[in-house]
Amino acid sequence: MNQHSTTGQSALSLITVDHVSKSFPMSEGKGTFTVLQDIHLTVRSGEVVALLGRSGSGKSTLLRIMAGLILPTEGLVLSRGKPLQGSNTEVAMVFQSFALLPWLTVQENVELGLEAQGIPREDRRKQALKAIDLVGLDGFENAYPKELSGGMKQRVGFARAFVLEPKVLFMDEPFSALDVLTSENLRGEIDDLWNAGTFPSQSIVIVTHNIEEAVFLADRVVILGNNPGVIRGEVIVNLPRPHDRSSDRFKLLVDYIYNVMTNPTAQVTGEVTDTVQKITLTKIPPTTALDSPKNPYTQALPHVRVGGISGLLELIVDQPEGKDDLPRLAEKIQLEVDDLLPLLDAAVLLGLAEVQQGDVNLTAIGRDFATTTILRSKDIFRQQVLERVPLLISIVRTLQEKRNRSMRSDFFLDILDEHYPHEEAARQFSTAVDWGRYAELFEYNASEERLYLPEPMVNE
Ligand code: ADP
Ligand code: MG
């Protein structure tokens, strides 16, 4: 069925994304929110492409645009050279949530898409049985989804996509809802099918936030940045299949991508070698409040609690030399990258840690913060916030301007609303309140919805 070509150039372009942008309207005529900006991407036959990015970077939106389920605001999607009109019949999708119909059996779920294509009953049955067999579910044809484990449900999800024999298989975080062992197992089987050349589609696009998963499955890892979602670059995996997790190159790539994902301004190179990794990952200067010409309300806070930051730093400080390898750290504390990275962002933003060469190091201040008493750690936190976190600096200054040393929270929410979709504006505010309270920079009265400066000390 599928002949994998390894030479990108000669391979057929199955999907081309050309200058695609996507914005959504914000609430009450507050303009639009740009989710994807000027995306170019080509999916060729014979390759597995991973779209890697943090949550909210627009991965699912991009996949849905390529599937023709939603329209881009600007730009064009081509399917085998022709502008896409309506839904893309060359693709089938596997969803994180399985998305099975509970009142249909396994077989009926798998047949559903064929039915829509008007394929005769007997053919439907045969093709469905073949797909069910391929995912290892024979014997379960007549079971209902509720009788199946998560892993088996997702096998049905795969069978339902396979049976359509799409040119391109789309998977949107297909293993994220499964436990570690089940996802490992299923991921391995999908990879085996691909490597054996018996895969029912010519290429795969997988959306993931999991770095190891991307390097394990993909030939190319396309890295998306956040706010708005842009393609920062791509990394060519260039390993023999199956990709050996214990090989030096695998580890180098994982380290490299960890670096890129923790340094939003680092340049992303295509060919990663040992030297490239060292040269291109020049450390970005910290965004201090003073040298930043930006609006303080546009520099998003990572949504983490102060307790989470201290917990992470305490784990790192216990390591030899006060540093830890990021992939190992993630594995050790069983944190998804999506949860770990915001903690690291916060630590870096606050000047408590630095990320380099796939390692996280504590700064001197960070070490102090992680080892001192709670009272002193609050002082350190406050001092770092006042030097480095524009949103909190701005809130404190605003409160200081007021004679009654207080302000309605609406005031800040309204400004945040100008820059973020409403939900995110509210999250930004609540994270700012959490940090500000911890630092004892201000108090928040939830029933009055007001922020207050603390009572001045007598000696002030
Ligand atoms: P990812 O899959 O990378 O986590 P998504 O593509 O789901 O990201 O979403 C990216 C951003 O777009 C998010 O901030 C999300 O809230 C926003 N978004 C997605 N769909 C819509 C929509 N229909 N209306 C408004 N905002 C949306
Ligand atoms: Mg998504």
pLDDT in single tens digits along all 460 residues of the chain: 444 544 444 578 999 999 999 999 887 777 889 999 999 999 999 999 999 999 889 999 999 999 999 999 999 999 999 999 999 999 999 999 999 999 999 999 999 989 888 899 999 999 999 999 999 999 999 999 999 999 999 999 999 999 999 999 999 999 999 998 999 999 999 999 999 998 999 999 999 999 999 999 999 999 999 888 999 999 999 999 999 999 999 999 999 999 888 888 888 877 787 765 554 444 444 444 444 457 888 888 999 999 999 999 999 998 888 788 888 888 888 788 888 999 999 999 999 999 887 789 999 999 999 999 988 999 999 999 999 999 999 999 999 999 999 999 999 999 999 888 889 999 999 999 999 999 999 999 999 999 999 986 655 4
* Residue 97: closest CA among 163, 156, 210, 174: 174
Helix (H) or strand (E) holding 137: none
Based on the fold, state whether residues 365 and 309 are members of the same structural domain. Answer: yes
Q: 385: number of CA atoms within 13 Å, CB side?
A: 28
Domains identified in the chain, total number: 3
Q: Is the CB of 58 under 6 A from ligand 1?
A: yes
Which single residue is written with the structure tokens 């909190």? 392
- Ligand 1 pocket, residue 351 CB under 6 Å: no
106-116 and 150-162 helices, crossing angle to 10°: 30
* Same-domain check for residues 171 and 82: yes
Last residue of a domain, one of 332, 356, 387: 387
Peptide bond into 456 cis (omega under 30): no
Residue 271 covered by a domain: no
Length of the chain measured in residues? 460
Å from CA of 266 to ligand 1 middle: 24
Residues 383 and 393 in one domain: no
Among protein residues, the one with the nearest Cα to ligand 1's atom 24 is: 24
In angstroms, the CA 323 to CA 319 distance is 6
Select from 238, 261, 284 the last residue of a domain. Answer: 261
Over the range 150-182, which residues count as b (16 or more CB within 10 Å of their CB) and which as e? Answer: ebbbbbbbbbbbbbbebbbbbbbbbbbbbeeeb
Q: Which residue has the tokens 């023999």?
A: 240
Domain boundary among 261, 284, 310: 261
Q: Is the residue at 107 inside a domain? A: no
Helix (H) or strand (E) holding 14: strand 13-25
Which residue minimizes the CA distance to atom 22 of ligand 1? 24
| Dihedral sign from CA coordinates of 144, 148, 152, 158 | positive
Classify residue 273: in a domain, yes or no. no
Residue 17 sits in which domain range? 13-90+166-261
Closest ligand 1 atom, residue 61 Cα:
6
For ligand 1, whether the C-beta of 200 sits within 6 Å is no
Residue 207 CA, closest ligand 1 atom number? 2
Any ligand 1 atom below 6 A from CB of 228: no
Task: For residues 217 and 349, state if they share a domain.
Answer: no
Q: What is the distance, to the nearest Å, from the Cα of residue 159 to the centroid of all Cα atoms in its chain?
A: 26
Enter the tokens of residue 172. 């949107």
Global pTM reads 0.86
Cα of 175 from ligand 2 centre, angstroms: 12
* Ligand 1 atom 12, closest CA: 35
* Ligand approaching nearest to the C-alpha of 56: 1
